[in-house]
Structure 1
Amino acid sequence: MTLLGLVAACAFLATQFGAVARSSAAGAAPQQADDPSLTVLSVSPWVEPEGTFRVSFDASGLPAEATVSATIHQRLNPGTDTLRTVTEEELGGDASTRNLQAPVAVALSELSRDGDAAVFDIPIRSGTGDPRRQLIPTAGIHPVTLEATDAEGGPLGDVTVYLNRLPVDPVLGRDGDPAIATVQLLAALDSGPSLGADGAFDLPSGELVAVQAWRSMLGSNLEVPLTVALRPNTLVGLQRSGDPLDTAFLSDLADSEFVLAPQTYVRVDVAGIAESDTAALERQLARGEAILTQVTGSAPEGPWMLDDTIDTSTAGLLAMQGTEQFLVSPDRLELEGTERGEQRRRTLLSSRALALEDVPGGVVSSYDVELTALLLEPGFSPALRAHHVATALMSSWFDAAREGSTAFPGVSSAILLYPGTDHEVLESLVDSLGEAGPVQLGTPDSPTADADGAPVRARLVERPVEMPGGVLTRWRRTDERIGGFDSMTSPGDASTTEWALLNDQTPSSAATSETRVAVWNSIDSALEERLAQIQTPPPRTVVLTSRSESIPIRIRNRGTEPLTVRMSIRSPRLDFPEGPETEVLLQPGENRVDVPVTVRAPGSSILRVELTSPNEVLDIREVRVTVRSWSISGVGAVLSVISLAVLAIWWLRTSLRRRREDDSTDAGTHPDNSDGQDRPGEQDTTFGSGTTAGDDGT
């Protein structure tokens, strides 16, 4: 369930609860809400067995001669039900139990006063003792009816409060410490993506109204120790909204009493994104933590809350990062172990911390939406609403104490606040729970346990996940390109920081395909524009006249900031004494880079100079230089000399042979064959080519 869903559910419950609370049982009259003449200002949340129950009320509307009486009723008896269930039925209705003692009546003029506030004290005792103290022999929740009457006994107003008497013997937990139930007050500030493709604050009007409502509620309770889930992306949007109220709110966060819950940068399906790309989830968490720390001055240390998209695997990942408490909706939890009835299940899910199955050290609990409804009760003063919540919390404590010491620690409630929650209600509740007692603000140290001492376990119910695979593919590609340009700039470059901020917004489950594409296109355009500021010369020809020279490469940086590029060089006829790769810092303006080369072989070749980002993700430009070299290397020279020598020898021998052949032809004698006949044993000893037979010319 999303935050908005939880809030809507709580608002619905508040409406329904108010209707039920004001309806009477058969034959019973509905309870009076605060009468204008008897408005409750504060009530003791609990009383020691030999303590004093105190009620403070506004007496400005009562005549000076009025009388105020207090009637203590018998404690609420749960029977086979839970005390919490009976208490919820009781709250908002007339006291349904019989009187325990006769009414205690005191003239208004005799009550201690603090301005318009009158204080009614009722000292109590648990057994024999001072008879002036009211005898309340049994621990539990005792309804107390306060009634104001005039001098003639006519009713002026009445109200019901609750005296929560603690046991005589201290209740200890399984660890030997006093049994304490913890309470967390939860609030949030959340929205869909708050930035447009240009980086400006951009929220639909409906979401903006909701954000402003939460901002107002949080801003009114900065001194209240709330546990809050602040969406980092929403905070960035408020930083850019230009609204002075947003600016003041963000400034005040640094001095608040809030406990911050860890959050992803934007709202995502945590299990889905982790299954697709764990690194993407880790980026979301890291960016979220960085922004929360930057805005508030404090790192998030609270529970994972108001996000039901986790699963066992991601809960384990969060636990390894230090988040061990999880708050989820009741329908996300399934109790492990023996079969439990619905009543027991309701108790465990609403007011207990449970061991999270398969997550070492993990503790999970759910929201107590009935307590949220009590905070929103219409028709009651803020102090009385806070008192009703404290009484309901005490009923859960009594239920756990009845189970035995194994229930503590681990008795815990989480109250989700509504934007319309009255500041005075929270202030009154925090004041009452600030006293050292059985119910305190805080987080559960460990899970509750069954009677055998074994932790009560629950597992997260599986749910369909949203698999943003295609979105993450484009997000990852854009992230790599941003990283490429980031490797070219100095640390903290404003452009890459902004692009990454916008790109990390795109995995939001509340984003549309249109808004995502708009962001990606905007980033690509801005990045290409920055790369276009690097200009290289057109193709040209360089003539080398010596074996070792430097070839100048001129690169212009048309931007205003230095950029680092990787320069990779290659050529088939050249060597590079300083290596084929180097990083070059391009200052704004024209930059000359001299590339030392050594000629391997003379002739013409292409020198290719490729410019990339230092991490080689971005291909920027290529420079092509035609190199003509008339110089040869030492090895080439030796080979050339040998070749010339061989050629010279061949030419010399050929010339000598031809000369001998010419001489032989000019002066040669032949045998006298006057008869013109061949003689035996004689043969022709010349070739038509003029080469002597048997002379191969070598």
Structure 2
Amino acid sequence: MCCGALAIAIASVSPALASKSAPTQQPEEVLQISSISPWVSASGEFQVRFDPTGEVPPGSILTYTVHQGLQPTRSQTLRDKVDGVIDGASAGKVLQSPVSKPLAEYGDPAAGSVLTIPLRATPDQDRLRVLLPKAGIHPVELVLTSAEGPEIWSQVVFLNRLPTNYSTQQQDPSAVAVTLLVPIETAPSLNPAGLAAFGVEDRSRIDAASTLLEEVPEAPLTLGLRPNTLDGLVRSKEPWAERFVNALTSALSPPESGPPAAAQPSLLTMPYVHVSTAGLVSTGAIGDLQREIALGDRVTRQITSTQAQQGIWALDDTLSPESAQVLAGFGNTAFLVDPAQLERPANLTEQQTMTAGSQLGKDSGLRALAYDTLVSARFADSGVDPALRAHQVISIIMAAWFTSRSPGFESFSAGGAALGSVIVIPTTIDPAVISALEPSLLSGGPLQVLANGAPLGPASTKSAEPVVQLAPVIAPDEAVAVTQTTETRRQITAYRTMTASPESEVELWTRMNAQTLATELGAAQRLSLHNSVRSQLAANLAE
């Protein structure tokens, strides 16, 4: 992996994904789910919609069985329970007798059948509705059998029954703030001649990102787009590079006519290249770090006419306690990190750092939220159909909501910890998964994308958030790199004061000089860039 920030995102996903068993539903199966109700009110209707199919044998019977709500134990959280059922663990005790009907009674399979399960909260309501007296996550087993009896398809979904006193509202501070974080980064993109240079893997990654932005242009994605990558793509005249720039600028632009889009992607503030924030700070090069961030912001604004999100720092695998304090001085108050980057007290589990906010240092005013590695793995699991995948992700995240907002599965309480879930998404994700998830996040329900891409709602005023610290890191010595960069910058500044050279030429040299601090570059590569800039300066002065 060429890129540090991207590497941390992928590393966060892979171990959990590798531990998952093979998914139940496969593309060749006779029945596929097109959508599932993300949650349902106490007297609402739970629906499972199926894709049109001509593969179901005539007379096939669909049986559904609603189970009792899942309960945490001493050794397993509610979230663990949901994840276990997805992996094939027992769905628990049956709440009601199985209901069996010909699939055709739910609609012509060739046109798409719809299973509807109406609910009631009290015994005195319509007895034809399923009685669910408590809120919670109820597994629902679906089994399709042929007319002769053998099972030909099965799946378990989750009926997330909301508390009776809960009502939806947009920008609800008690909701789980969901961040769909998409890293988009390549190797440093400018060669010593100042031309764009991308490898085969870089192009593949960008092609996938283009497809994603074209297919779901209004999805509320947080794009961790490296400014140096974007810079190189704009300088490249290759059709694939222009395709990405067009897809990006189109997705970030408001509609030319009609009502405003319900949502759209946003950009994360990032340094121009992937620098070692720990290394620069330990070397005393705080000014260089600030220049990298400012240049990154300037490049993205010039190209996209969009201001990146402020106050959120993410995709930094070099972060140290010291560099976090410096970044806080630049205005960053929320740090999204890999779980392994946090040191936590014994009474705080890793899972809790991924589902709720923590103080990054006691009374510091800074907050931390770890990437949700389990949800990220589930989201990226290409072995599961998109609609079912989105539903599983919703149900896992809902477990944290129920645990905090309705711990007794009775009534809803808006107090408690600020909840969040940062899903790190590879550019190769099937856009259909995001399309399946997006409506739920924009519906004003328990899971939401908050304004300005906030990864957490406000901290509770009733109880302090747990305190975590960033794990110490061994900071690389950046003294030589910084000294070389300082000298090249001095020469560029002197040249600018002595000549009337086109600003575009000076700006290119400035960006090439900034690129030399990229962690991916070795000493020889850095020196090559410096020598190129300095020789061009000398040649121009000699004319």
Q: Tell me how far apart the structure 1 counterparts of residues 34 and 519 of structure 2 sit (CA, whole Å).
A: 45
Give 1:309's aligned residue. 318
Alpha-carbon contact 1:150-1:156 (below 8 Å) kept: yes
Q: Taking structure 1 as reference, are residues 250 and 59 closer, same or farther at Cα in structure 2, changes over 3 Å only?
A: closer
Alpha-carbon contact 1:3-1:307 (below 8 Å) kept: no
Alpha-carbon contact 1:70-1:105 (below 8 Å) kept: yes
Give 2:305's aligned residue. 297
Give 1:10's aligned residue. 13
CA deviation string 1:194-219 (max 9, x = no partner): 11110112244444544544454455
CA deviation string 1:549-604 (max 9, x = no partner): xxxxxxxxxxxxxxxxxxxxxxxxxxxxxxxxxxxxxxxxxxxxxxxxxxxxxxxx
Question: Which structure 2 residues correspond to residues 191-270 of structure 1 after superposition, within 5 A?
Answer: 191-256=186-251, 257-270=264-277
Unpaired runs of at least 5, structure 2: 252-263
Give 1:41's aligned residue. 34
* 2:57 paired with 1:71: no
* 2:522 paired with 1:512: yes
Give 1:108's aligned residue. 103
Give 1:645's aligned residue. none
Give 2:255's aligned residue. none
Match of 1:101, SS state, is coil
Deviates more, 1:358-367 or 1:290-299: 358-367
Q: Tell me how far apart the structure 2 counterparts of residues 252 and 127 of structure 1 sit (CA, whole Å).
A: 51
Give 1:271's aligned residue. 278
Q: Taking structure 1 as reference, are residues 155 and 114 closer, same or farther at Cα in structure 2, changes over 3 Å only?
A: closer
2:434 to 405, 426, 431: 426
Paired residues, what number?
A: 515
Question: Which structure 2 residues correspond to residues 159-178 of structure 1 after superposition, within 5 A?
Answer: 159-170=155-166
Q: Tell me how far apart the structure 2 counterparts of residues 213 and 172 of structure 1 sit (CA, whole Å).
A: 35
Q: Taking structure 1 as reference, are residues 283 and 36 closer, same or farther at Cα in structure 2, changes over 3 Å only?
A: same
Please, what TM-score do these two structures have when normalized by structure 1?
0.69
Give 2:45's aligned residue. 52
Q: How far has the Cα of 1:134 moved from its partner?
A: 0.5
Question: Which structure 2 residues correspond to residues 169-188 of structure 1 after superposition, within 5 A?
Answer: 169-170=165-166, 179-188=174-183
Alpha-carbon contact 1:38-1:159 (below 8 Å) kept: no
Match of 2:20, SS state, is helix
Query: Which has the higher relative contact order, 1 or 2, with Cα contacts under 8 A spaced 6 or more apart?
Result: 2
* 2:534 paired with 1:524: yes
Identity of aligned residues (%): 31
Give 1:641's aligned residue. none
Q: Tell me how far apart the structure 2 counterparts of residues 154 and 335 of structure 1 sit (CA, whole Å).
A: 51
Q: How far has the Cα of 1:165 moved from its partner?
A: 0.8
Q: Point out the structure with max Rg over C-alpha.
A: 1
Q: Tell me how far apart the structure 2 counterparts of residues 388 and 18 of structure 1 sit (CA, whole Å).
A: 14
CA deviation string 1:426-465 (max 9, x = no partner): 1101123322211112334446559x61222222122111
CA deviation string 1:230-261 (max 9, x = no partner): 11111111123322121021122123221211
Please, what TM-score do these two structures have when normalized by structure 2?
0.87
Q: How far has the Cα of 1:17 moved from its partner?
A: 1.2
Q: Tell me how far apart the structure 2 counterparts of residues 42 and 166 of structure 1 sit (CA, whole Å).
A: 19
Match of 2:376, SS state, is helix
* 2:357 paired with 1:361: no
Alpha-carbon contact 1:409-1:444 (below 8 Å) kept: no
Deviates more, 1:365-374 or 1:303-312: 303-312
Match of 2:113, SS state, is strand
Alpha-carbon contact 2:25-2:385 (below 8 Å) kept: no
CA deviation string 1:93-126 (max 9, x = no partner): 1643122112233433332569722111110011
Q: Taking structure 1 as reference, are residues 357 and 491 closer, same or farther at Cα in structure 2, changes over 3 Å only?
A: farther
Q: Tell me how far apart the structure 1 counterparts of residues 273 and 455 of structure 2 sit (CA, whole Å).
A: 28
Q: Which amino acid aligns with 2:189?
A: S
Q: Tell me how far apart the structure 2 counterparts of residues 113 and 46 of structure 1 sit (CA, whole Å).
A: 25
* 2:346 paired with 1:350: no
Q: Tell me how far apart the structure 2 counterparts of residues 206 and 380 of structure 1 sit (CA, whole Å).
A: 25
Alpha-carbon contact 1:171-1:179 (below 8 Å) kept: no
1:285 to 293, 313, 318: 293
Match of 2:435, SS state, is helix
Give 1:573's aligned residue. none
Q: Tell me how far apart the structure 1 counterparts of residues 471 and 380 of structure 2 sit (CA, whole Å).
A: 30
Q: Which amino acid aligns with 1:200?
A: L
* 2:349 paired with 1:323: no
Q: How far has the Cα of 1:318 moved from its partner?
A: 3.1
Match of 1:254, SS state, is helix
Q: Taking structure 1 as reference, are residues 441 and 246 closer, same or farther at Cα in structure 2, changes over 3 Å only?
A: same
Q: Which amino acid aligns with 1:459?
A: Q
Q: How far has the Cα of 1:477 moved from its partner?
A: 1.1
Give 1:141's aligned residue. 137
1:385 to 380, 389, 395: 389
* 2:335 paired with 1:332: no
Q: Which amino acid aligns with 2:289?
A: L
Q: Taking structure 1 as reference, are residues 407 and 149 closer, same or farther at Cα in structure 2, changes over 3 Å only?
A: same
Q: Tell me how far apart the structure 2 counterparts of residues 146 and 316 of structure 1 sit (CA, whole Å).
A: 52
Give 1:689's aligned residue. none
Q: Which amino acid aligns with 2:64?
A: A
Unpaired runs of at least 5, structure 1: 23-30, 534-698
Q: How far has the Cα of 1:170 moved from its partner?
A: 3.3
Q: How far has the Cα of 1:291 moved from its partner?
A: 0.8
Higher strand share: 1
Q: Tell me how far apart the structure 2 counterparts of residues 2 and 359 of structure 1 sit (CA, whole Å).
A: 28
Q: Tell me how far apart the structure 2 counterparts of residues 305 and 279 of structure 1 sit (CA, whole Å).
A: 20
